[in-house]
Structure 1
């Protein structure tokens, strides 16, 4: 009996998860390895921090879905792949998970290399569950008086976290904290100038201080050191300085890209091992490096499902096309957002309403399964 192993139940595996029974009906054994019973939709994570959503609103039970389809669910971290023996090793046990075909949707993580010493009051956007813990910590601390909160980074994750902290404290807390966004000189540097301008305008209007003197070099004992030798203090710190692919691929001796992601070809297939596939944030697409945005994982869904089935059956593989322009909507808190699609860009309540509708519709598809 051939065996298919899925590492992670993220966006790129959603169609494959929903159709696990089609593999099992053909006599294939399916195992899904994930460190938590639930998969959270990262696009709604900042909204959970802000109080717009509860955890149950932005997640679905991977374990329940897999087992209802006849697959095996293993709650564990996949630590290494042996491509010669065709074995996936687990961090939590000595069990060896054998495979004929393996697909990786292991996601990404926020590096905390700049954080030294005690990190009790340091929170990252991934795993998403961390934002719920941060929310409870902020509310608890604000009951004792005003606090300062620092968000490190100038990209979408950083601005969404900052805006939603403002919303959380405005609606539920006793005191409004001093929120500082350490963006360095590159606030939203990878987006169009108009989007950048609208994001800045909304953040400033909320009273969020944007610090652009230099990039953060080190965080230690609630102290933030910026490269121009200025030091700041904060009670709670959110590093949001980009994401990196899971380390499993480098540790497994597979072909990787410059970012450490699994290097894949146009079939979403490892460039070094034909029975290893991947999608989402954890891959490096060799033909055209892709931004770490969920839209690509969603676009990879059907191709990945078809190619996993084809690999098991020995049939031709399907080519993945990244596609063209895509919609981006940033949730800046307080029911406001910034919308960007092609030449159309605007901000306000309608922008967030569109994002909220799309996100709820997307997650509901998999919750009902």
Structure 2
């Protein structure tokens, strides 16, 4: 059955400029029978190069793309805005500024956010791994502080891949400015990157010691304090004696990503902590004309980690299924890969690649990562 409900050309609305929608823009010719509008809140920042940018290995412009420029290049309409609601009966997307956009098909690629506690009055600066524009601002702030001779202690919260990358690249940034500062990585888990092979974890622990990053495992962040961050041992009975103060000038939170709050207010089935509930055709379980991909999407049959590679691999399926829905053809099913390659940028020219139980570390890993990243961004940079 075709998605077109009336006369004229069907209208596809793309909400957000995530990996999958960038791919759709480049392949706009496959949807030549429809008008397409992309709605985005600003620039696309490539998360795969964000840590390296923080450490000074990349200029911010290298990891940024302008969706409006791409829209002009590939023949889409573009609207700067933010989705706040859906009128599915009337086929209207509602934007924060009061505008509405009619649609026949709609797709969401909104990425994820990093929940962050509020800063204490007169306390340390509080930053998050997302939105990535915050990391750009943090780099500029710290670079200027280092040039003024300031040496603020830094705490990174989160012992997963993102937290490890940020801690290492903060050290790399400080090294570029010949700034000797204290950097502490706080992990709620007793193992850094718990899903990594044990050999990779041992190598990583040794590397962190060599570059001077202190690691506190089995500790959780409790609250901000005017002098730093209050932490407590994971599982300990709470009380004043359980709290410890890590004095610092800035706290960077990378302890987990969450779907955007917008999704919970769309009137569609939402899986708490994961995102919009989808069939493996990338369609909403509630509405076959609502699609999604990437970090904001939650496949009912598969709980996927928040890695950009899944949004990239979903993109061709999303494109094929939008085309199929337009023309009343059968849809494809997205089948996630059993294992995904992850390569961490650890600063100082070092990388750590992990795929399943295989791992390898050193300069060759980082060179491979940069080749993959540059190949991805070549089509999207300004």
Q: Tell me the TM-score range normalised by the shorter chain.
A: over 0.9
Residue 34 of structure 1 pairs with residue 40 of structure 2: yes
TM-score, normalising length from structure 1? 0.93
Cα drift, residue 82 of structure 1: 2.5
SS at match of 2:346: strand
Cα drift, residue 273 of structure 1: 0.9
Q: Select which of 55, 77, 88 maps to 1:50.
A: 55
Cα drift, residue 81 of structure 1: 2.2
Cα drift, residue 136 of structure 1: 0.9
Cα drift, residue 339 of structure 1: 1.4
Cα drift, residue 303 of structure 1: 0.2
Q: Select which of 79, 93, 98 maps to 1:74.
A: 79
Which ranges of structure 1 fall in alignment gaps of 5 or more residues? none
Whether the 8 Å CA contact 2:196–2:354 is kept in 1: the answer is no
Whether the 8 Å CA contact 1:114–1:217 is kept in 2: the answer is no
Residue 262 of structure 1 pairs with residue 256 of structure 2: no
Cα drift, residue 65 of structure 1: 1.0
The within-5 A match list for 1:1-369 is 1-23=9-31, 25-26=32-33, 28-36=34-42, 38-91=43-96, 93-113=97-117, 115-117=119-121, 121-142=125-146, 143-171=148-176, 173-184=177-188, 185-227=190-232, 228-367=242-381
Whether the 8 Å CA contact 2:197–2:357 is kept in 1: the answer is no
Counterparts of 1:112 and 1:222, CA distance in 2: 18
- Bigger drift between 311-320 and 151-160 goes to 311-320
Q: Runs of 4 or more off by more than 6 Å in structure 1?
A: none
Change (3 A) 1:313 1:135: same
Cα drift, residue 66 of structure 1: 0.9
- Bigger drift between 139-148 and 105-114 goes to 139-148
Cα drift, residue 193 of structure 1: 1.7
Change (3 A) 1:186 1:115: farther
Which ranges of structure 2 fall in alignment gaps of 5 or more residues? 1-8, 233-241
Q: Deviations over 1:255-276 (max 9, x none)?
A: 1113150000110110011110
Whether the 8 Å CA contact 2:63–2:381 is kept in 1: the answer is no
Change (3 A) 1:221 1:72: farther
Counterparts of 2:195 and 2:187, CA distance in 1: 13
SS at match of 1:181: strand
SS at match of 1:123: strand
Counterparts of 2:50 and 2:30, CA distance in 1: 31
- Bigger drift between 304-313 and 152-161 goes to 304-313
Cα drift, residue 288 of structure 1: 1.1
SS at match of 2:271: coil
Cα drift, residue 72 of structure 1: 1.2
Whether the 8 Å CA contact 2:124–2:227 is kept in 1: the answer is no
Counterparts of 2:174 and 2:140, CA distance in 1: 11
User: Aligned Cα RMSD in Å?
Assistant: 1.8
TM-score, normalising length from structure 2? 0.90
Cα drift, residue 144 of structure 1: 3.0
Equivalenced residues, count: 363
Q: Deviations over 1:294-315 (max 9, x none)?
A: 1111110100001111122222
Cα drift, residue 85 of structure 1: 2.4
Whether the 8 Å CA contact 2:118–2:126 is kept in 1: the answer is no
SS at match of 1:108: coil
Change (3 A) 1:241 1:342: closer
Counterparts of 2:45 and 2:300, CA distance in 1: 27
